[in-house]
């Protein structure tokens, strides 16, 4: 049951991050899930030591962990945007 909740929360966080980064029309549900989960890992490495708390990847579904995971997903999409912008030219 934890895996299903993890995928759902990761998908929602990835979807919200894609809306913030204006990539919502370019992503499907599977990519939103991947962005949410990978962004949570990224947020765990970069932001969790600064802000405290865990991420959704360690089954910590507190408000602080959701914020850290969401910010990690936004950072991940910002990195993807920079890479795509550089490869077009």
Residue carrying structure tokens 């990690």: 72
The CA-based angle 82-25-37, given to 5 degrees, is 65
Please give the pLDDT value at position 74: 92
Please give the pLDDT value at position 28: 81
Please give the pLDDT value at position 1: 61
pLDDT tens by residue, the chain, 89 residues: 678 888 888 889 889 998 998 876 677 888 888 988 898 888 888 887 887 777 777 776 788 888 888 998 999 999 888 888 776 55
Helices 29-46 and 63-88: angle between axes, nearest 10 degrees: 110
Give the count of domains, the chain: 1
- Domain span at residue 68? 2-88
């Amino acid at each position: 049951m934890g895996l299903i909740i993890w995928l759902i929360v990761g998908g929602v966080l990835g979807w919200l991050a894609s809306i913030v980064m204006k990539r919502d029309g370019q992503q499907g549900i599977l990519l939103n899930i991947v962005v949410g989960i990978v962004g949570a890992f990224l947020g765990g490495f970069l932001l969790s030591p600064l802000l405290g708390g865990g991420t959704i990847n360690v089954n910590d579904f507190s408000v602080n962990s959701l914020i850290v995971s969401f910010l990690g997903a936004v950072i991940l999409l910002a990195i993807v945007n920079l890479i795509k912008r550089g490869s077009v030219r």
